[in-house]
Chains A and B, each alone.
Chain A
């Protein structure tokens, strides 16, 4: 296996896509998946339960300094940024919002790119602001794989288009193609 982690960022219109991806993964998916999705600050519960309903792998909201394990998905908790810390651990932060967002997709992607370098797969999905563009650039600059959901398929195109404007990417994929790509990781 050439990779150590997958990180997915999304906002408006990404929930269905993430659900489809999680539902289609093999149970023994070989990598941890970090999910940084914009969400309401004050709603603490419900989101992880909704994502878990049909997911083939466990989805959890991590506590600070939890270790990431292959075959598990980690959803950034409400009103925290989610970073990658040394030794595969998650670190949470209450730093200021970035692009009006906490969790910030940029910060999650940048810290993951610093930790995993060319062993990271970063995916930007549908969304309504430019958060994630800078982060995906960092993934790409550090030699990781940069994937953007096909804007034509996105419910809201702003996030994917901002990413495509800022950085070159490896693939522009539909949801089906993203699923196909992830299923082939062995």
Chain B
């Protein structure tokens, strides 16, 4: 992640030199508690164009994500993937499934965006340095309860599972074929980087792929491929394990 972050800083500096960035506001006071329940504070803040202020209502300050609205962290995602997903939402190839409740909201938002605004959004988000947001302790509950609610409001209480990194590593071997050994992603295969994604969001999306809520549109073969791949995850335990492994990659806790 370090390289990614440096990359962004570098880009930010370059853009500043070119004079194309909006003026950013340097905060005088540094937060001495960088990680809390909502994650690290991005400093300096990037000014969000007015046309995109709808986005940060749900996606949070600097697009760092907000589990309470169900909006994921978008910082650190590459431009091609952001463009693909925004377009997918706009074209109803994502967020159209009857059980994808938060997807419905994003689709409604994306439908109102014209191509220029999508470009502006992607440009703005990729100018924001990666924010390592929210190491929430109850990410499993967030992921599974939200996904269950999406399906049938079943409200079945999900217990917290103890993750097995080893099992996660074993499972990830299949994922690595497309997403890369370090989950760095592969644009040629339309496989996004997974490092830096919120655990609750990854787990929820894996469930959605498994349940066919995502990856059911024939005009999006990469997504259909992901749906097929998600079938290797046989249980919530498998999901928890692989998400924990990917998250550990991000934290550079693994060799």
* Pair from one complex: no
